[in-house]
């Protein structure tokens, strides 16, 4: 493994690394490859699994487009139940920590991305032992997320212990990259110095995901949606998301044949949503699985507007990354969550969508009616969405921000 003999590197640690997987995994691969193209020495420690296939067995070592990939063996129980997920998480913590001990040298930058949860604790220990620079890339905050989604799953003393250990790893980091201002405020309240926090939003590939006329969408044609007003949802249907408000709005719109709802993806709440729709006797929903990266633009363009949702209690703990693909596709978004949160504020201040409080199905139905009745407003919002995506949420913006602070805290990681 010639990678070990090279100069100082940036070593990313994340359970998944594959460009065709979930949105956050694609962002990691996009960032890694683009930093490598800029001359940074990039390595990745990851599992041999795929996001949608826990039984996959990718090669243990690979060099791809300037990135050296080290894949470790872990448990393969998948995400179907909490016990199996916890076993997968724990086994990755151990395997990744041991691999990092072998790979990491003084001067390296080790980036802990928050999958699995609390991996920053392990990476912090290795970084201290090996004299490496620690950076945390926070897509979410655990154990707070677990406490919100599954109250009481952990004893209070365990939550306090994990929070203390997590916060210690954040304080020792040279930089903590967060996704929005609400998450930044959470870290400040935890005692993290402002100088060690950097907001770098997630992004979309605006070169691949581009606005398309809904009439030209093959996805729309395949489902026979014709000239109906299509409300889309694309991505993970996970426990962090809220769908009762959508079901309530669909109930209010059930006698308006023009409305259709296209749900793309899967997750812990997928079956629950299907069952709710079936129980209500609502026939305007269409479901399809995750779409490959090359079909994402067409799939997003099938909808006139897209739904984004987040439980209000998770504001500042998670920022739904699906919103950036929606903006890139030139579609307005309707956010169901805290209207004053990161996504709600973005959509309303930039005039590229609307925000609705969780539980307000009547307001959601009214907003959808209003958007469907105003093609010009819909078009203006779509144009503004694309403008916002290109001006603020591209991989070029993110890579420039990462390269900037990496060059400051560890200039020797770049070869040129």
pLDDT of residue 80: 58
**CA distances for 412 relative to 125, 135, 407, angstroms:** 22, 15, 8
pLDDT of residue 331: 98
Grade residue 84 by pLDDT with cuts at 50, 70 and 90.
low
Residue 56, pLDDT > 50, answer yes
Instruction: Please state, rounded to an integer, the average pLDDT across all residues of the chain.
Output: 92
Residue 77, pLDDT > 80, answer no
pLDDT digits (tens, 9 = 90+) for 214-261: 999 999 999 999 999 999 999 999 999 999 999 999 999 999 999 999
214-391: what fold? Rossmann fold (3.40.50)
pLDDT of residue 49: 83
Do the beta carbons of residue 385 and residue 333 sit within 8 Å?
yes
Which residues in the chain are classed under CATH 3.40.50.2000? 2-203+394-413, 214-391
Instruction: Provide Rg for the chain, Cα atoms.
Output: 21
pLDDT of residue 1: 47
Residue 187, pLDDT > 90, answer yes
- What share of the chain in percent tops pLDDT 70? 94
Rounded to an integer, the average pLDDT of 41-56 is 85
Rounded to an integer, the average pLDDT of 60-69 is 94
| CATH ID of 2-203+394-413, from 1.10.340.30, 3.30.70.360, 3.40.50.2000, 3.30.2270.10 | 3.40.50.2000
Residue with tokens 């920590």: 97
CB under 8 Å to 33, separation ≥6 — which residues?
42, 64, 65, 66, 67
pLDDT of residue 381: 98
Q: Taking the complete model, does pTM exceed 0.85, yes or no?
A: yes
pLDDT of residue 8: 83
pLDDT of residue 254: 95
pLDDT of residue 78: 61
CB atoms closer than 10 angstroms to residue 68: 23
Grade residue 25 by pLDDT with cuts at 50, 70 and 90.
low
Half-sphere exposure of 151 (CA within 13 A, CB side): 3
Determine which of 114-123, 125-134, 159-168, 402-411 has the lowest per-residue pLDDT on average: 402-411
Burial 280-311 (b: 16+ CB within 10 A, else e): eeeebbbbbebbeeeebbbbbbbbbbbbbbbb
- Distance (Å, whole) CA 137 – CA 67: 18
Residue 10, pLDDT > 80, answer yes
Residue 53, pLDDT > 80, answer no
Rounded to an integer, the average pLDDT of 274-287 is 96
- Distance (Å, whole) CA 127 – CA 172: 10
pLDDT of residue 81: 65
pLDDT of residue 339: 97
pLDDT digits (tens, 9 = 90+) for 303-350: 999 999 999 999 999 999 999 999 999 999 999 999 999 999 999 999
Angle between helix 375-392 and 361-372 (nearest 10):
100
């Amino acid at each position: 493994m010639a990678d070990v003999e090279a100069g100082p590197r940036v070593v990313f640690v994340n359970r998944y690394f594959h460009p065709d997987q979930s949105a956050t995994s694609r962002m990691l691969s996009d960032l890694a490859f683009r930093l490598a193209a800029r001359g940074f020495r990039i390595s990745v420690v990851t599992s041999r699994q795929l996001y949608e296939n826990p039984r996959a067995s990718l090669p243990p070592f690979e060099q791809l487009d300037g990135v050296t990939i080290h894949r470790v063996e872990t448990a393969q129980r998948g995400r179907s139940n909490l016990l199996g997920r916890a076993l997968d998480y724990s086994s990755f913590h151990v395997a990744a920590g041991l691999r990092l001990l072998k790979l990491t040298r003084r001067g390296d930058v080790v980036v802990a991305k928050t999958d699995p949860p609390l991996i920053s604790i392990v990476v912090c220990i290795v970084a201290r032992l090996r004299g490496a620079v620690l950076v945390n890339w926070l897509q979410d905050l655990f154990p707070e997320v677990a406490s919100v989604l599954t109250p009481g799953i952990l004893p209070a003393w365990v939550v306090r212990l994990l929070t203390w250990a997590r916060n210690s790893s954040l304080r020792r980091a040279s930089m903590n990259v967060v996704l929005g201002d609400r998450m930044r405020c959470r870290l400040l309240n935890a005692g993290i110095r402002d100088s060690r926090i950097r907001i770098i939003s997630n992004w979309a590939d605006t070169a691949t995901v581009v606005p398309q006329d809904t009439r030209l969408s093959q996805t729309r044609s395949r489902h026979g949606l014709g000239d109906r007003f299509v409300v889309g949802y694309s991505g993970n249907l996970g426990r962090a998301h809220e769908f009762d408000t959508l079901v309530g709005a669909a109930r209010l719109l059930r006698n308006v044949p023009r409305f259709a709802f296209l749900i793309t993806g899967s997750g812990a709440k997928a079956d629950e949503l299907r069952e709710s729709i079936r129980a209500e006797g609502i026939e305007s929903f269409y479901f399809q699985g995750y779409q490959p990266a090359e079909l994402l633009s067409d799939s997003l363009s099938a909808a006139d507007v897209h739904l984004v949702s987040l439980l209000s209690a998770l504001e500042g703990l998670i920022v739904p990354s699906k919103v950036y693909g929606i903006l890139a596709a030139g579609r307005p978004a309707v956010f169901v969550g805290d209207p004053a949160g990161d996504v709600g504020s973005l959509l309303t201040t930039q005039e590229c969508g609307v925000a609705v409080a969780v539980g307000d199905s009547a307001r959601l139905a009214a907003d959808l009616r209003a958007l469907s009745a105003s093609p010009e407003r819909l078009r203006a919002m779509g144009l503004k969405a694309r403008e916002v995506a290109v001006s603020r949420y591209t991989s070029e913006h993110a890579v420039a921000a990462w390269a900037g602070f990496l060059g400051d805290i560890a200039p020797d990681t770049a070869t040129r």
